[in-house]
Structure 1
């Protein structure tokens, strides 16, 4: 028998930058999809140019499909694709499917519903084909230096050497490292205990939003002036900036979530996968984009 074959969608994203090298080290042949033309630097890796929306070239038989990108696009693709064999489906979702469901911001509540619809669509498509499937709902992801949440804040603080201290932001967060999510994906391969399940996954620590930001700033290699900012001042500043930065300043629901607990009940995932994610202890290199394989 030859090496097992994996199709990795979203290979150049946060989790893909950790998952693909792990698969290659484990002896897998990896078909990695990318919108941009890329050159493979490993004999076990083949880049496929394209995406789920514009289409992919016909695929050979694969043993596993890892969906690390938009779940809605993957669910639609899976429902209409012509697959050979019965690959195991491992897809990443988001805890926003639950945390933003009751948001008073209509865009956020629509996002939550679209995530839930995508999960249902994936389940339906997989069941109709007799495919084993698992969805991992993730909390805030960091670690590859290309996230849109903590890495931009680290870069802003590095550039301006000043950053607000939000002592009022007491809502708990549970950041999870992209490398640990890659490990969770690998642990799910061939694990019948997680077939047909949606599992919540997060990091090892739950800490207040304000403490999470403090650790980001503490990880930087230079001193950063921290300026205390209360909720009223932050609300005023965001309101004043919004007309000048359309689409870039979050709405009022963002401020409300700073006091909300956005964590994952991930005991089941840890038990079934035998998975032990790391605590939140970033260093300066955490915010540097991880190179592609």
Structure 2
């Protein structure tokens, strides 16, 4: 029986490397389409000799994309950006690039396509990121109607860019921010009046394990019944931003002062922070946080795929300890 072949665009990224590892374990021959094949050499040991091959392919290059998907059984597109830089705009990557992959897969006669989007994808969103994700979904389904669309919430795992970011901040800062739209409210009762600094605790997140997301994608490729469906993936619990920061403190063992930040002040801070080469915060990201990042219901998710969601509390202590009190300098590289 011939081995199945799959091309994974963005195969060396945080989610991509987990997907590649699971696909290889399931016997797939994997082409990891990346911008820098040399830097992606670490993927090769995830399979048998010759089973995982990094190759150069930029999703903004139609010819390279067509070559990458030629002769394969399935395609997974995980390429995405959190902020714009130069020619890497939301439109170029999330919309035009995604459409290029879908069209090439269709033209090559590929049987399965899984496209990574995001919770919050909304063509009417205030945030350009969310609008581009929604437009990307439409473009993909127009070119490849049987594609599976995956919308995960914040994805966590050892190399994530969410909890790790706040863990690093906890190492160097005495305070952690909590964005809030309804804080600083006077509250009066029988005992007198006070100020509710955090209100409802800020935006709500439903973090989902990278292992669960990777397993979901593999199952979508294996079962034709999932064709054309959109899946919303979230973890077993929802957290306010205040609770996220409390989770960061408990998993690192560092006590920090939580500071409420009104969205207006957050936008002002982002005006300057987005000028950094690798922005700590952008105005578009602040706009995104005005909408809760949670599963809305009405679409299939992990449960329909037979996957029991992994809790953040079960995983975070395993890698957030690198930011603990006795962590060495450069704790993000510690084991």
Where on the TM-score scale, by shorter chain, does this alignment land: which range? 0.7 to 0.9
SS in 2 for 1:137: strand
* Closer, same or farther: CA 165–69 of 1 in aligned 2, 3 Å: closer
Deviation at 1:217, TM superposition (A): 2.4
* Closer, same or farther: CA 290–51 of 1 in aligned 2, 3 Å: farther
Gaps of 5+ in 1: none
Query: 2:224 corresponds to which residue?
Result: 192
Query: 1:68 corresponds to which residue?
Result: 78
Query: 1:285 corresponds to which residue?
Result: 319
CA-atom RMSD in angstroms:
3.1
Aligned residues of 1:161 and 1:225 also touching (Cα < 8 A):
no
- Alignment: residue pair count: 275
Aligned residues of 1:133 and 1:196 also touching (Cα < 8 A):
yes
Aligned residues of 2:169 and 2:176 also touching (Cα < 8 A):
no
Deviation at 1:237, TM superposition (A): 7.5
Pairs within 5 Å for 1:230-249: 230-231=260-261, 236=265, 239=268, 242-243=271-272, 246=275, 248=279, 249=281
Query: 1:49 corresponds to which residue?
Result: 56
Q: 1:164 aligns with which of 173, 176, 182?
A: 176
Paired with 1:289 and 1:134, the residues of 2 have a C-alpha distance of 35
* Closer, same or farther: CA 245–273 of 1 in aligned 2, 3 Å: closer
Query: 2:12 corresponds to which residue?
Result: 12
SS in 2 for 1:265: coil
Query: 1:142 corresponds to which residue?
Result: 156
Deviation at 1:209, TM superposition (A): 1.5
Paired with 1:244 and 1:102, the residues of 2 have a C-alpha distance of 22
Gaps of 5+ in 2: 81-93, 179-197, 323-331
* Closer, same or farther: CA 30–150 of 1 in aligned 2, 3 Å: same
Deviation at 1:212, TM superposition (A): 1.3
* TM-score (norm. length: structure 2): 0.71
Query: 1:114 corresponds to which residue?
Result: 132
Q: 1:93 aligns with which of 108, 112, 117?
A: 117
Deviation at 1:253, TM superposition (A): 7.8
Pairs within 5 Å for 1:218-257: 218-220=250-252, 223-231=253-261, 236=265, 239=268, 242-243=271-272, 246=275, 248=279, 249-251=281-283, 254=286, 257=289
Deviation at 1:271, TM superposition (A): 4.0
Q: 1:262 aligns with which of 290, 293, 297?
A: 293
Paired with 2:266 and 2:70, the residues of 1 have a C-alpha distance of 54
Deviation at 1:115, TM superposition (A): 1.7
Paired with 2:108 and 2:269, the residues of 1 have a C-alpha distance of 55
* Closer, same or farther: CA 61–290 of 1 in aligned 2, 3 Å: farther
* TM-score (norm. length: structure 1): 0.81
Deviation at 1:161, TM superposition (A): 5.2
SS in 2 for 1:268: coil
Looking at both structures, which has the greater relative contact order when contacts are Cα pairs under 8 Å and sequence separation is at least 6?
A: 1
Paired with 1:181 and 1:47, the residues of 2 have a C-alpha distance of 21
Deviation at 1:22, TM superposition (A): 1.0
